[in-house]
Amino acid sequence: MPSTVEELFAPPAAIAGHPAVRAAARLADEVLAPHATAADDPAHGVDPAHLAQLAGAGLLSVKIPRSEGGHGADDRVDAETVELISGACGATWFVATQHRTPQGMSRGRLTGLADSAVVVGPAAQRFRAGLADASTLSGIAVAHLRRPGTPAVRAEPAPGGGWTFTGHADWCTGWGLTDLVMIGATTADDRYVFALLPAAERPGLRAGTEIPLAVMAGTRTVALDLDGLQIAGDDVLFDVEGPAWRAHDLARTANTTPASLGLLRRVLVELERVGLRRERPEAADLAAHLAELAADRRSQAYALLTEVPLGVRTAERTALRGEITELTVRAAHALIAARSGSAMLLSSPEQRWAREAAFHLIQAQTAPIRAAQLAAFGATTRLDRRPEIDTAV
């Protein structure tokens, strides 16, 4: 059995030696982690130069073919790079991860979404190259599409072609850090239209002040007000049937995010270090125990992510995500207990990691994910003796 937490989480040699993973490890240690406290603080925030370094190293394009500026790597290599980036600086990861959705949509398809449900717009071809190698960075304003009831942003056909967007998008991360913004709106016949526009105010589009967040406050997250925003036909990136998109979103968000695993990994490594450095064997023992649980759940989550088609064994994926996010919160608070009072200093990372763990509960949270998380928090059995999950769903 591996003797340290780091060894438990160490990837196979083929993954560890991949150029993308080596680049992520170097930037995480030398660039992102030293700036993480400042990146979380709105007075400083995420450094645009750090996003540029990630893009330049191909770390926002890990699965993109090499011919288009990426690494051409598989899902497991991609997940390893995300773990390293998220574990080093959650705020920088969160801005960077916004780019993934428009990047994928510009390629004409998303995994698990039937081609028959999608019309790919002209903006896909226009921005495909820049999105592929991340020389053009995009943010998104789409979280409101998950909200039930009256659509928060409506799309109505405009005279002469195109669309008119009207409404309010609560969340847009990276405003002022990205070149483009992708905005989703709902049509009267239950389709979603996604427009890709320059990330700047224009007639009909106004950005609010930065939202005062409890964590990742340096991500320049704002709300967008849309008042008759004119969307030309050439600005449309994707047009998709509402039921198909919602089914895809539920399937996709059931997966555990490598970013939450990256935070969990970082916290458990630090918990063990505190235990050994301060001669607190109970902390080191707890780190080893929680790391065994985490490594087991991580293996299961990645097996589902890389070997099982999206939309299959969704109940199992959902339960795993609930357990892993609960375990991340538990580990982060254990680290605070082990570190004691100094963990509350703003200069100490422990309190920031606890806030980031809370963030991973609500990031891309759906009703099934929320139920799974609450079940994990309320479980009367230990996670290492959990009941069998019905995987038929």
In a domain, 393, yes or no: no
In a domain, 357, yes or no: yes
In a domain, 107, yes or no: no
Residue among 97, 379, 367 nearest 219 (CA): 97
Residues 93 and 212 in one domain: no
Residues 277 and 160 in one domain: no
Residues 119-153 have pLDDT tens digits of 999 999 999 999 999 999 999 999 999 998 999 99
Q: Would you state the pLDDT for residue 111? A: 72
Q: How confident is the model at residue 1 (pLDDT cuts 50, 70, 90)?
A: very low
Residue among 2, 3, 63, 9 nearest 263 (CA): 9
In a domain, 108, yes or no: no
Residues 200 and 259 in one domain: no
> Could you tell me if residue 311 is left (phi over 0), alpha (psi between -120 and 50 degrees) or otherwise beta?
left
Report the CATH number at residue 171: 2.40.110.10
In a domain, 249, yes or no: no
β strands within 303-372, DSSP E: none
pTM: 0.93
In a domain, 131, yes or no: no
In a domain, 180, yes or no: yes
d(CA 184, CA 198): 14
| Residue where the block lists tokens 């990994």 | 265
Residue among 142, 385, 122 nearest 234 (CA): 122
Residue 70 three-state SS = coil
Residues 258 and 234 in one domain: no
Residues 21 and 89 in one domain: yes
In a domain, 391, yes or no: no
- Taking every pair of C-alpha atoms in the chain, what is the biggest distance, in angstroms? 73
Domain end, chosen from 175, 210, 241, is at 241
Q: Would you state the pLDDT for residue 319? A: 97
Residue 141 three-state SS = strand
Residues 200 and 278 in one domain: no
**Alpha-carbon separation of residue 133 from 35, 58, 61, 128, 353 (angstroms):** 24, 7, 6, 9, 30
Domain end, chosen from 206, 241, 276, is at 241
Residues 261-319 have pLDDT tens digits of 999 999 999 999 999 998 999 999 999 999 999 999 999 999 999 999 999 999 999 99
Range of the domain at 199: 114-124+137-241
Amino acid at 88: A
Q: How confident is the model at residue 115 (pLDDT cuts 50, 70, 90)?
A: confident
Q: Would you state the pLDDT for residue 3? A: 59
| Residue where the block lists tokens 């995010």 | 257
